[in-house]
Amino acid sequence: MSEPALRQIEANGFGIRIAEQGPEDGPVVLLLHGWPESWYSWRHQLGALAAAGYHAVAPDMRGYGATDAPESPELYTVEHLLGDAIGTLDMLGAEQAVLVGHDWGSILAWQFALLRPDRFRAVVGMSVPYTGRQPAPPLEGMRRARGDEFFYILYFQDDGIAEAEFGADPRGLLQRLYVGMESGDGLGLLAGGPQREPGWLAQASPPLPLPDWLSQQELDYYVAEFERTGFRGGINYYRNFDRNWELTPQLAGAQVQQPAIFIAGEQDGVIAMFGPDMQDAMRSAVPGLREIVMVPDSGHWVQQQSPNEVNAALLGFLEGLD
């Protein structure tokens, strides 16, 4: 099996690096990564999709890798990111694509499907479900729910603070996140808790040893990317929660009608944030939902931790579309 090809394109007036694999005339599957990741997060899916006849395309999202990374948070809204996706499809000559998103990529995939159903014919969300538009700006709800507790999304709102901390120790952040997110190492990514020390990494335990699913070479790839680019671009996504809400009032009550599936690890702490009624809420907000796949013994980085299970679910869904 050949390796993914990396190339630079111009889309939406923007320089974007894409990884692609599979026949150019195959149906396009657009894979959107989350934070803090890159196209490389889909390394186990690109070849599997290509072997099944799909044109798999995984961009470095705006602000990541070799894609342009503007400084201003206001250039990372859902409208800008949707423009990048549409521009990529236009450059590929593709009328439509299936969207596959993980983490922030999943948040965007659901919104892209709602905003441009003419261009996105189906959705695969991973880790972050769609349960409908919130009735109030999201940060307002987070501040009310968290009170004085430390919470990473709220920490990210102070311009320049988080990116400076993470930029001083990219390996320390990434190894803690990739390895310790579901292991209770004290990082406090999801659970929150009292602020014991300034910043985030000072509150965490030392990085844990690498698991079987992440080799030293693979971690080194991510570290090298963020040593070169820094973390500001990815953190800017979080600074647009309220702005995105304000930009999309038309999504109040909107439902994702396209065929869809949701995939997540059973140990993914993100799922717990949505409460015990998540699956019912998702079925109401996504009438086209065909399946919810909860992968045993897997956590937040599900497509990397359990590629065989994820690829089987993904390809089964795609075959059902065709």
- Sheet of 120-126, strands arranged across: 5-11, 14-21, 55-59, 28-32, 97-102, 120-126, 260-265, 289-295
Residue 134's pLDDT band (boundaries 50, 70, 90)? very high
Instruction: Give dist(CA 75, CA 55) in Å, integer.
Output: 29
Question: CATH number, domain at 296?
Answer: 3.40.50.1820
pLDDT exceeds 90 at position 60: yes
For residue range 185-227, list pLDDT tens digits in order.
444 455 566 666 678 887 777 788 999 999 999 999 999 999 9
pLDDT exceeds 90 at position 129: yes
pTM of the entire predicted model: 0.96
Q: Which pLDDT score, from 0 to 100, does residue 207 have?
A: 81
For residue range 94-120, list pLDDT tens digits in order.
999 999 999 999 999 999 999 999 999
Three-class secondary structure of residue 4 per DSSP = coil
Mean pLDDT of 291-317: 96
Mean pLDDT of 152-162: 94
Q: Which pLDDT score, from 0 to 100, does residue 185 have?
A: 43
Q: Which pLDDT score, from 0 to 100, does residue 275 have?
A: 85
Q: Which pLDDT score, from 0 to 100, does residue 2 have?
A: 78
Residue 12's pLDDT band (boundaries 50, 70, 90)? very high
For residue range 261-281, list pLDDT tens digits in order.
999 999 998 888 888 899 999
In Å, what is the CA distance from 48 to each residue of 39, 122, 218, 308, 313? 15, 18, 19, 9, 12
Number of helical (H) and strand (E) elements in the chain, helices listed first: 14, 8
Contact assessment for residue 237 and residue 63, using Cβ atoms and an 8 Å cutoff: yes
**Number of domains the chain contains:** 1
Containing structural domain, residue 236:
5-321
Q: Which pLDDT score, from 0 to 100, does residue 190 have?
A: 57
Average confidence score pLDDT of the chain = 93
Q: Which pLDDT score, from 0 to 100, does residue 184 have?
A: 43
Q: Which pLDDT score, from 0 to 100, does residue 187 have?
A: 46
% of the chain with per-residue pLDDT over 90: 84
Residue 1's pLDDT band (boundaries 50, 70, 90)? low
Residues designated as active site: 103, 300
Rg (CA), the chain: 18
Instruction: Give dist(CA 256, CA 248) in Å, integer.
Output: 15
